[in-house]
Structure 1
Amino acid sequence: MPGERPGRRLVVVTGGTKGVGAGIARAFAEAGDEVVVCARRPPQAPLDGVEFAPLDLRDPPAVRAFFGRLTRLDVLVNNAGGAPHRLLAGTEAERHARVIDLNLVAPLTASLAAYDLLKRARGSIVMIGSVSGTRPSPGTAAYGAAKAGLENLARSMAAEWAPEVRVNTLVVGMVRTELSHLHYGGEDGIEAVSRTVPLGRLAVPTDIGRAAVFLASDAAAYITGAGLLVHGGGERPAFLDAATVNKPDREH
């Protein structure tokens, strides 16, 4: 457990050992915060200025014990989540339920366990949501359903726990991580997918980290119950490219 360091906030990032979570942890550490990441397995490479604590977030008693050992907490980032590509009809319900457990129930469990500490500090929670929760998500339907529920949960928490605890959601688009090839293919696939984003690239974990630091900062003191889109402008509607009229004049 982290030591007492007056003047520094304590930030817990769930699932903060790789990818987006590691980017979030680094961003808070660079902002001068004391950061603890918790996951089942430690990071492959140590994160500078970040402490690791082993924790299975799908084990409620273990989650309660983890937060019970803390003496203070200023920010909780519920980042742990994800899902493999699984078509609905090709997978049994129990495996889909495990995806919902990790992406929706685990953040609820962690938030409840952290509530008293956050209330005492007048702290904040940042949920890491997804655009998959705002549109159809074929192949990751349970994940999309969980992320939709997570954003609604955050709004309800914000209403119930105000004014002591602020709760917001980062609605994240496509991010380039060490696992991008599993979703988009190799470099050619990543480049092709990047061209569908108005800003012309996938996000990197640092983009998400900086947005999380903002939502947890005093600069966002009047923001709660909000969903901040971090998706590079979203996705160009497919019908615009399929239509045979109103095309840009490529010759001028």
Structure 2
Amino acid sequence: MTAARTVLVTGASGGIGRGVCEALAEEARLTGHSLRLAVHGSRESMALSALVSDLTSADGEGEIEARAFVADLTDAGACNNLIGQVIDWAGRLDSIVSNAGQSRPGKLANLPDEDWQATLDLNLRATWLLARAAYPALTETRGTITAVASMSGLSPHPGYGAYSTAKAGLVMLCRQLAQEWAGDGIRVNAVCPGMIRTPLTETVYQDEDTRRKRESLVPLGRIGTPRDIGDAVAFLTSDKASYITGVALRIDGGLSEGMLNLIPGRPDKVR
């Protein structure tokens, strides 16, 4: 009998993290494969407990088991313990989806030291700490790491200098790990979401004028959803992507490539 695939998803309680978990669970149900989802949060919460309940009770052919884990990912010891706890529970580790992050806006000229450090610690350093701790286990399973970066890591984002720097570093970290660990059969990729409607951004989209203006910037004409990111992550962690490593996949509805569409006076403007 094939052992259940085990995936750790950090920052899983809501938004993109939840979308990733739902996509992984649906894939397991559709393919009839067993899946163990280790869902991480920075603290115990009703949202994390509800996610575990929803994932475990899902109907389908594949057996799905979920368990919540709590850890401070800015602490090296806590990252080591988290990986150990997941392996103790499941007996193996096949994939890490490093999604936990935070954004502390502020211009670099007067950004407080603690905001800079906290942003880099969670958005960049935590992925390295988890990867380093999980390296032996991922070598055994020829596993994967998929990190959730941002389009802000591909282009400067004024007013979010620490976040943009951290996400750019995260993209490079994934590329570096992909090269160093390819010989061990470990694949490492990043996804770079564009504008995504999540609980954290919901207040922005409650304003209809703002929503319409944002949608008008996206060539595909809509704001992304957590599931858009989740489906891409599910693909990258699967065997269907077995020849893909070191990529930074933009998931932004064409926004990054469509900036020239915004120049006023273009005679061939699409929208």
Q: For the residues of structure 1 that align with 2:130 and 2:212, how far apart are their CA atoms?
A: 36
Residue among 85, 96, 107 paired with 2:127? 107
How far off its partner does 1:154 sit? 0.5
Percent identity between the two aligned chains:
39
Identify, as 1 or 2, the structure richer in helix: 2
- C-alpha RMSD of the superposition: 2.1
Question: Which amino acid is 1:56 matched to?
Answer: D
Q: Tell me the residue number matched to 1:64.
A: 80
Could you say if the C-alpha distance between residues 205 and 249 of structure 1 is closer, same or farther in structure 2, counting changes exceeding 3 Å?
Answer: closer
Q: TM-score, normalised by structure 2?
A: 0.84
Residue among 7, 20, 27 paired with 1:24? 20
Q: For the residues of structure 2 that align with 1:72 and 1:159, how far apart are their CA atoms?
A: 23
Q: Tell me the residue number matched to 1:39.
A: 41
Q: Which moved more, 1:200-209 or 1:37-46?
A: 37-46
Question: Which amino acid is 1:171 matched to?
Answer: C
Question: Which amino acid is 2:80 matched to?
Answer: R
How far off its partner does 1:84 sit? 3.2
Helix, strand or coil for the counterpart of 2:265? coil
| Matches for 1:155-166 after TM superposition, within 5 Å | 155-163=175-183, 164-166=185-187
Q: For the residues of structure 2 that align with 1:187 and 1:103, how far apart are their CA atoms?
A: 31
Q: For the residues of structure 1 that align with 2:107 and 2:265, how far apart are their CA atoms?
A: 32
Helix, strand or coil for the counterpart of 1:100? helix
Q: For the residues of structure 1 that align with 2:96 and 2:269, how far apart are their CA atoms?
A: 46
Any conservation in 2 of the 1:199–1:233 contact (CA below 8 Å)? yes
Where in structure 2 are there 5+ consecutive unaligned residues?
29-34, 56-65
Q: TM-score, normalised by structure 1?
A: 0.90
How far off its partner does 1:78 sit? 0.6
How far off its partner does 1:155 sit? 0.7
| Matches for 1:1-252 after TM superposition, within 5 Å | 6-32=2-28, 33-45=35-47, 46-47=50-51, 48-49=54-55, 50-69=66-85, 70=87, 71-163=91-183, 164-181=185-202, 186-235=207-256, 236-237=258-259, 240-246=261-267, 248=269
Any conservation in 1 of the 2:11–2:17 contact (CA below 8 Å)? yes
Any conservation in 1 of the 2:15–2:199 contact (CA below 8 Å)? yes
Q: For the residues of structure 2 that align with 1:15 and 1:245, how far apart are their CA atoms?
A: 42
Helix, strand or coil for the counterpart of 1:15? coil
How far off its partner does 1:42 sit? 3.4
Any conservation in 1 of the 2:104–2:115 contact (CA below 8 Å)? no
Show CA shifts across 1:44-89 (max 9, x none).
3311223211111111101101212313100100101120322223
Any conservation in 2 of the 1:16–1:37 contact (CA below 8 Å)? yes
Where in structure 1 are there 5+ consecutive unaligned residues?
none
Any conservation in 2 of the 1:12–1:38 contact (CA below 8 Å)? yes
How far off its partner does 1:171 sit? 1.5
Any conservation in 1 of the 2:147–2:191 contact (CA below 8 Å)? yes
